[in-house]
Chain A
Amino acid sequence: MILRPRLRDIRIIGYQLGRIVVGVGLLMLLPLLTGLLFRETVPVLDYLIGMGACLSAGYLLRIVFHTREEPTWTHGLTVAALSWLAAALLSAIPLLLSGHFASYLDAFFEAMSGYATTGLSLAVDLDHLAHAHNMWRHFIMYVGGQGIIVVALTFLLRGSGAFTFYVGEARDERIFPNVRHTARFIWLVSLVYLALGASALFLAGLRLGLAPVRAFLHGLWIFMAAWDTGGFAPQSQNILYYHSFGYELITISVMFLGALNFKLHYAVWTGNRREIFRNIEVAVLCVSILFTFAVCAAGLSRLGVYPGAVALFRKGFYQVISGHVGTGYSTIYPRQFVREWGGLAMVAVIAAMAVGGCACSTAGGMKALRLGILFKALAQDIKRLLFPPSAVVLETFTWRSISRERGRGCSPDIRRSRRFSNRSRRQPTLGSPAGSRRFPCRPL
């Protein structure tokens, strides 16, 4: 199908893509309302044009490729890939019309950076961007963090075939058996924390002396970008603009919460609070943050950049956390980072960025879960070398609570590694004599 798509395939893909594009148009209602609320006439027109483009393109696709056939896995994969491209292409229209981007390519870059929660910005004169445009930039990031398909599954898509799109977006974790319920839970967690985090940042902004409306908007935008570990900010100086310890503490907490697995949120919300301490990802994340921070602090201390503990926390620890979860928020000037931090601290932040957050979260990187599995597999290999050849080493990659579920509901990484471990466990026992001794190992 990929090599030679038939007309039937093109119809299914085109029809489903049309539904997503209509959804992107509907998302523009939020910046449109923001523009109307703050009487920003020109941005309102920008979003009317953007919405018009999305809705006409979406309905055109739905009419031209109208079909009642259900999508298969390959269709789901193609629709997910094209949705991200189409969403960024169309979301760039109002950004380009704002006049804050040198070319369409720059506006497209900004939109894609938002959806992919990269956080790189090409906006010219960012500090004077209209509220509607700032709302759109941050809202794009908030939607992109959860995933466009997850949004569509929660609010738009009906009918079967939903799981094909979900898998097509490189997600196959299921908190509930029904993928639509999983998507809704992901949004429930994000919206509950939006209310809490934005309120906390609003209060911190008020305490700073910001006007109430400004404090509310900045709180909302900073939360959206921090929760989705994206990094957009309404000011060019980023978090440094606020010079606020309260803002820094809240954003650290929000970034860390955003980097946690949605399944962990589910476990804790449904009463399984001990899962925070048992979860392998949280353990790996904390150890990794500790290690990278210790290296960063050693580098900064060697150069005497931040002599006090508070300064080290607000500058050193903040950059490590922000880099680790992939947000990219900063409380220092870029020149300071390049000229004052030195090689060791810089390497520590870069290493932290490579590790990333948890699987099934909004964070990037190679994920704490994979790192945890890697280290456990290494420890098991060493144990196998130390024990007698006839010994069967039991491999446990999960904690008791997940093991009890026999793999149901746990991450596909764990399932895959378990399948692999089961295979490798069986091999040495094939030729071993009956009654061979077993050396069960505790979970590491």
Chain B
Amino acid sequence: MKSGGREKARAVVRAAAGIAVEVLMTALLMAVVFLAGWAILHWFRT
């Protein structure tokens, strides 16, 4: 594989990792925000 091709492959792998991180972080952030909201609600109730 030529160096240009290797560079492209590296960029694609980096982008794929970025997409995976984005999706996971989105799910995680949503879960954290929901649980924090739920905890605030319980704290107010008690």
The minimal Cβ–Cβ distance linking B36 to chain A, given in whole angstroms, is: 6
How far apart sit A256 and B27, CA to CA, in the bound complex (Å)?
9
A271 to chain B: which residues have CB within 8 Å? 14, 17-18
Q: Is A298 close to B, CB under 8 A? A: yes
Chain B binder among A11-19, A20-28, A128-136, A289-297: A289-297
Chain B interface residue count, CB cutoff 8 Å, equals: 24
Q: Which of B5-29 contact A (CB under 8 A)?
A: 11, 14-15, 17-19, 21-23, 25-27, 29
The answer on a CB contact under 8 Å between B25 and A290 is: no
* A312, closest chain B residue (CB): B38
The answer on a CB contact under 8 Å between A256 and B19 is: no
The answer on a CB contact under 8 Å between B41 and A257 is: no
The answer on a CB contact under 8 Å between B41 and A276 is: no
Given known A-B contacts A252-B30, A253-B30, A309 and B38 have beta carbons under 8 A apart: yes
Tally A-B pairs: CB < 8 A: 68
How far apart sit A176 and B4, CA to CA, in the bound complex (Å)?
21
The answer on a CB contact under 8 Å between B44 and A298 is: yes
* B22, closest chain A residue (CB): A268
How far apart sit A298 and B41, CA to CA, in the bound complex (Å)?
6
The answer on a CB contact under 8 Å between A256 and B26 is: yes
The answer on a CB contact under 8 Å between B40 and A256 is: no
Q: Is B45 close to A, CB under 8 A? A: yes
The answer on a CB contact under 8 Å between B37 and A297 is: yes
Q: Is A317 close to B, CB under 8 A? A: yes
Given known A-B contacts A268-B18, A269-B18, A301-B45, A253 and B37 have beta carbons under 8 A apart: no
Q: Is A179 close to B, CB under 8 A? A: no
B27 to chain A: which residues have CB within 8 Å? 249, 253
Given known A-B contacts A253-B26, A256-B26, A257-B26, A313 and B21 have beta carbons under 8 A apart: no
* A292, closest chain B residue (CB): B37
The minimal Cβ–Cβ distance linking A43 to chain B, given in whole angstroms, is: 35
Q: Which of B14, B19, B33 contacts A289 (CB 8 A)?
A: B33
Q: Which of A249, A269, A273, A290 contacts B36 (CB 8 A)?
A: A290
Chain A interface residue count, CB cutoff 8 Å, equals: 30
How far apart sit A289 and B21, CA to CA, in the bound complex (Å)?
21
How far apart sit A294 and B40, CA to CA, in the bound complex (Å)?
7
Q: Is A286 close to B, CB under 8 A? A: yes
Q: Is A192 close to B, CB under 8 A? A: yes
The answer on a CB contact under 8 Å between A273 and B41 is: no
The answer on a CB contact under 8 Å between B40 and A269 is: no
B26 to chain A: which residues have CB within 8 Å? 253, 256-257
The answer on a CB contact under 8 Å between A253 and B23 is: yes
How far apart sit A246 and B11, CA to CA, in the bound complex (Å)?
31
How far apart sit A268 and B15, CA to CA, in the bound complex (Å)?
8
The answer on a CB contact under 8 Å between B33 and A293 is: yes
Q: Is A160 close to B, CB under 8 A? A: no
B34 to chain A: which residues have CB within 8 Å? 293, 313, 317
* A277, closest chain B residue (CB): B25
The answer on a CB contact under 8 Å between B21 and A276 is: yes
A149 to chain B: which residues have CB within 8 Å? none
Q: Which of A270, A290, A301 contacts B33 (CB 8 A)?
A: A290
A273 to chain B: which residues have CB within 8 Å? 17-18, 21
A293 to chain B: which residues have CB within 8 Å? 33-34, 37
The answer on a CB contact under 8 Å between A269 and B29 is: no
Q: Which of A252-273 contact B (CB under 8 A)?
A: 252-253, 256-257, 260, 265, 268-271, 273
* A287, closest chain B residue (CB): B33
Kindly supply a per-residue 1/0 record for chain A positions 297-318, scoring 1 wherever the CB is within 8 Å of any chain B CB and 0 otherwise: 1100100000001001100010
> Which A residues lie at the B interface, using CB under 8 A?
192-193, 196, 249, 252-253, 256-257, 260, 265, 268-271, 273, 276, 282, 286, 289-290, 293-294, 297-298, 301, 309, 312-313, 317, 321
> Which B residues lie at the A interface, using CB under 8 A?
11, 14-15, 17-19, 21-23, 25-27, 29-30, 32-34, 36-38, 40-41, 44-45
Return the 10 tightest CB-CB contacts between A and B, nearest first: A269-B18, A293-B37, A268-B18, A269-B15, A294-B40, A297-B41, A294-B37, A290-B33, A253-B26, A273-B21
